[in-house]
Copies of this chain bind each other. A is one copy, B any other.
C-alpha cells in the first residue's frame, strides 16, 4: 500500500475535530460545492421539488410561496415567466395561464443549499387566488391574525 512507502507521518484528524464546537463542524460540513460553487445543482426534495419565493420587483413585498420541479424551474429561466408545480393538482402550472395574472421574471436567485429560489417579478395583477395583491395579507400577532395590505 502506497502510504507504507511514505516516510511522512499522516496524523489522524480525530483529535483536531474533537476540539472544535459541534456547530463549527456542522457549518463546515454544510459549506460544500453546492453551497458556494457556481454550478446549478438544485437539492430537490423526495417529491422532486424546491421552494420558490416570489417578491414584487417593485418594493420587495413577498407575493407568494410555491414549489418548482426541474421542469418548472427550467421554463421559468427560459421563458421569463414564473412556472410552478402544483402539489394539489399534481401538474405543471404557469402562473396566470387562466387568470392572466402572470409573473414577469426580473431576477432569479438560489440559496446556499440550493433547495429554494427567490424570484423577483412584475405581477400582471393580483397574485393571490383570493384576489389580494399578495398571498401574505394577514399579520400574525399575539392575538391572532389581522388583515393588512401587503404594502403595510
Contact = CB atoms under 8 A, between A and B. Distances in A.
Q: How many copies does the complex hold?
A: 2
Nearest to A113: B135
Interface of A: 21, 23, 26-27, 30-31, 35-40, 51, 53, 55, 59-62, 64-65, 73, 77-78, 88-89, 98-99, 107-113, 115-118, 128-130, 132, 135-142, 144-148, 150
21 contacts: A23-B99, A26-B89, A30-B88, A35-B129, A38-B146, A38-B147, A40-B144, A51-B51, A51-B65, A53-B53, A53-B65, A55-B60, A59-B60, A62-B118, A64-B111, A73-B140, A109-B138, A109-B140, A110-B136, A110-B145, A112-B130
A91 to B, nearest CB: 11
User: Which of A26, A31, A116, A144 lies at the interface centre, i.e. has the most chain B CB atoms within 10 A of its CB?
Assistant: A116
A77 B140 CA distance: 8
Contact of A108 (B55, B59, B108, B140): B140
Contacts of A38: 138, 144-147
A39 B111 contact: no
